[in-house]
Amino acid sequence: MKPLTFADVTPESLYLNRRQIMAGMTAMTAAALAPRAARAEDLKPNTFEEITGYNNYYEFGTGKEDPAANASMLKTDPWTVKVDGMVDKPGDYALADLLSGLKVEDRVYRFRCVEAWSMVIPWQGVPLAALLDKIGVQPSAKYVAFETLLRPEEMPGQKMGILDWPYREGLRIDEAMHPLTLMATGLYGKPLPNQNGAPIRLVVPWKYGFKGVKAIVRITLTDQMPQTTWNMMASNEYGFYANVNPNVDHPRWSQASERRIGGGLFGGRQDTLMFNGYEDQVASLYKGMDLAVNY
Ligand code: MTE
């Protein structure tokens, strides 16, 4: 596929080009991006300003505008990622070395926060599966765990006990290997802005946004289900799986609908889709599981 450059296009022209873009994609990716029953405007990307101006990143404050205001103080170069646990090639990798040889892809994904707001984001990144293949996952590994940088001098929120730092997340290996799972390094054709998790963050489009750990400095392959930040904070509210599910409400609010940031053509609220619209691609991962118990 010809690499797509978002740098000079507006979301509107991107939307008009969508058919053309999809024509060039592999069948798997195109299927992922054209979910059943989705209206075309469901995948109209939010503006760059919306995506980079309304964020959750508690290392820089709890307000939605705090990350945009404060995240520039984080130094993202040089950047080292520790790879450890059940892998063939553990080590401390310079980010460029970790990513070398991996193909950066464009993925326009829905993004659904557990707080019941949503966006559509044109990411660039490498499939996590390709990265895991490169470092060599051993058969004993059942999960992959991620950690955010711990650097309170540059991440002032870490001086406060809002969360148990560093921010941690994890996936089951089959979730991590799924072709939709992305390690994002950019959006709108630009390097990932600091407030969105530069220089590298996780994107799992069928899960609530809190799974998308930002500023990753450690990737650990393990046979134990990893501890994850929001689950540690309130396990009755935030599960390990965190699959988007309109039928399982948060204890304090409904998950049946969502507020699309920017309002789009329709404005207001829209129905939340099972697995955020990626049901055809991912439902088989959870076959036989009670999704109300494994939320
Ligand atoms: N990663 C870190 N390190 N710290 C955070 O506070 N917030 C999470 C997730 N990743 C968070 C994080 C939450 S709650 C959401 S909804 C998404 O990042 C928000 O991503 P965005 O700001 O790029 O939209």
Probe target for ligand 1 pocket from 59, 115, 201, 214, with the most ligand atoms within 8 Å of CB: 214
**From the alpha carbon of 51, which atom of ligand 1 is closest?**
24
The stretch 39-48 carries a mean pLDDT of 81
b/e 151-182 (16+ beta carbons within 10 angstroms → b): beebbebbeeeebebbbbbbbbbebbbbbbbb
- The Å distance, Cα 59 to ligand 1 centre, comes to 10
Q: Is residue 131 part of a domain?
A: yes
DSSP state of 198: T
Q: Is residue 292 part of a domain?
A: no
Q: Is residue 54 part of a domain?
A: yes
The stretch 4-23 carries a mean pLDDT of 36
Q: Give the model confidence (pLDDT) of 259-274 as tens digits.
A: 999 986 666 789 999 9
Check whether 37 has a pLDDT greater than 50. Answer: no
Half-sphere exposure of 236 (CA within 13 A, CB side): 2
Q: Please give the pLDDT value at position 263.
A: 83
Q: Supply the range of the domain harboring residue 174.
A: 6-286
Q: Is residue 1 part of a domain?
A: no
Which two three-digit tokens encode residue 47? 């503006």
Check whether 3 has a pLDDT greater than 50. Answer: no
In total, how many domains does the chain have?
A: 1
69 confidence band (pLDDT: 50, 70, 90): very high
Check whether 13 has a pLDDT greater than 80. Answer: no
38 confidence band (pLDDT: 50, 70, 90): low
Q: Is residue 295 part of a domain?
A: no
Q: Is residue 293 part of a domain?
A: no
Q: Is residue 276 part of a domain?
A: yes
The percent of residues in the chain predicted with pLDDT above 70, rounded, is: 85
Q: Is residue 52 part of a domain?
A: yes
Check whether 26 has a pLDDT greater than 80. Answer: no
Q: Which CATH number do you get for residue 276?
A: 3.90.420.10
Q: Whose CA is nearest to atom 13 of ligand 1?
A: 210
Q: Give the model confidence (pLDDT) of 274-284 as tens digits.
A: 999 999 999 99
- The Å distance, Cα 158 to ligand 1 centre, comes to 14
CA 66 to chain centre: 19
Probe target for ligand 1 pocket from 50, 51, 54, 56, with the most ligand atoms within 8 Å of CB: 56
Q: Give the model confidence (pLDDT) of 156-189 as tens digits.
A: 999 999 999 999 999 999 999 999 999 999 999 9
Pocket residues for ligand 1 (CB within 6 Å)? 55-59, 113, 148, 167, 196-197, 209-210, 212-215
Q: Whose CA is nearest to atom 5 of ligand 1?
A: 57
Q: Give the model confidence (pLDDT) of 211-252 as tens digits.
A: 999 999 999 999 999 999 999 999 999 999 999 999 999 999
DSSP state of 87: B
